[in-house]
């Protein structure tokens, strides 16, 4: 709710007389709430946002516009934006029924216009935004983005914000290669697994990371190394010589956390993943 006040002036001859001050209150009947589907993010995430609008009044709101700043923040005297909108993801529902696609300007800021909320009704706007190189990833980081609603019947802009925090956890990927790619019968192969962690926390034994693979053709007399250290069964891994099924023991695969550097001029974040390497060699 907001209040207003005003005062009249009466002028006659050379006299000026002020009236008493009257005050009133404007009751807001359009309520807005913004939510993220998830509370935490990691590098390269695509976040989904939901804006709920409820009109408790007796008059419809038409020609509404929602502008989202996509988490913009000031860095080094300029504004950087940590999210990039996904325009084709926008969905708009009125009283639970999907509407024709509204007008979308990708931005930043993201601007969605041509929205209406019927009297005594509700509307839901859903859209997605992808994290980019301006998104902070180190421990304790967060992104707050604010949506502003304006349009016919809205006497003063309505703002709603949502904050998501960076996940303090490992974020692992794995890449496999083979050498040589062409091998003779009874020749030796080496498989190399590169495990990268772009998260801000290391993958420790408690994360119970496990690598499994089934080698075809089956490898014989395998030798296994992890980060240059020899592994032995069954302490570090198990291997079925009949089927070629390999599995590391839970918790044996560990990967250091990534490191993050923000360019002092551009504000762009650079991620240097933590890396661990598993090699498995054997004869086919």
Exposure on the CB side of residue 23, measured as CA atoms within 13 A: 3
Common-topology check for domains 30-166 and 172-283: yes
Q: What's the pLDDT score for residue 2?
A: 64
Q: What's the pLDDT score for residue 25?
A: 63
The residue assigned the tokens 């083979």 is 178
pLDDT band at 27 (very low <50, low <70, confident <90, very high): low
The DSSP string of 26-83 is EPP-EEEEEEES-SEE-TT-EEEEEEEEEE-SSS-EEEEEEEE-TT-EEETTEEE-SE
Q: Going by C-beta distance under 8 Å and a sequence separation of 6 or more, which residues neighbour residue 261?
A: 269, 270, 272
CATH class held by domain 30-166: mainly beta
Mean pLDDT computed over 30-49 = 95
Kindly tell me if the per-residue pLDDT of 1 is higher than 60.
no
Neighbours of 88 (CB within 10 A): 10
pLDDT band at 187 (very low <50, low <70, confident <90, very high): confident
- 116-150 per-position pLDDT tens digit: 999 999 999 999 999 999 999 999 999 999 999 99
pLDDT band at 26 (very low <50, low <70, confident <90, very high): low
Neighbours of 40 (CB within 10 A): 14
Q: Going by C-beta distance under 8 Å and a sequence separation of 6 or more, which residues neighbour residue 82?
A: 70, 71, 72, 73, 131, 132, 134, 135, 136, 143
- 189-244 per-position pLDDT tens digit: 999 999 999 999 999 999 999 999 999 999 999 999 999 999 999 999 999 999 99
Is the pTM above the cut of 0.95? no
Spans of all domains in the chain:
30-166, 172-283
Mean pLDDT computed over 168-187 = 91
Mean pLDDT computed over 31-41 = 96
Instruction: Retrieve residue 284's tokens.
Output: 């086919």
The CATH architecture to which 172-283 belongs is Sandwich (2.60)
Helix, strand and coil in the chain, % to nearest 5: 0, 60, 40
């Amino acid at each position: 709710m907001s209040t207003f006040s005003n005062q009249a002036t009466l002028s006659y001859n050379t006299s000026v007389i002020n009236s008493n001050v009257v005050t009133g209150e404007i009751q807001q009947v359009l309520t807005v709430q913004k939510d993220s589907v998830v509370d935490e993010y990691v590098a390269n995430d695509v976040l989904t946002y939901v804006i709920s609008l409820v009109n408790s009044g007796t008059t419809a709101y038409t020609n509404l516009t929602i502008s989202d700043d996509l988490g913009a923040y000031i860095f080094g005297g300029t504004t950087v934006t940590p999210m990039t909108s996904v325009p084709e993801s926008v969905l708009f529902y009125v009283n639970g029924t999907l509407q024709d696609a509204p007008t979308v300007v990708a931005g930043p800021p993201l601007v969605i216009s041509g929205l209406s909320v019927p009297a005594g009704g509700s509307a839901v706007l859903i859209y997605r935004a992808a994290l980019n190189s301006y998104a902070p990833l180190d421990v304790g980081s967060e992104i707050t983005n604010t949506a502003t609603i304006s349009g016919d019947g809205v006497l003063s802009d309505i703002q709603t914000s949502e904050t998501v925090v960076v996940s303090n956890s490992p974020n692992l990927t794995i890449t496999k290669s083979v050498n040589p790619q062409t091998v003779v019968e009874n020749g030796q192969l080496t498989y190399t697994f590169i495990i990268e962690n772009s998260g801000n926390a290391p993958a420790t034994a408690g994360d119970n990371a496990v690598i499994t693979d089934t080698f075809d053709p089956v490898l014989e007399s395998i030798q296994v190394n992890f980060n240059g250290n020899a592994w032995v069964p069954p302490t570090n891994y198990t291997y079925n010589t009949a089927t070629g099924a390999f599995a590391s023991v839970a918790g044996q695969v560990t990967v250091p956390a990534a490191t993050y550097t923000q360019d002092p001029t551009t504000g762009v974040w650079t991620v240097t993943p933590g890396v661990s390497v598993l090699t498995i060699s054997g004869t086919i």
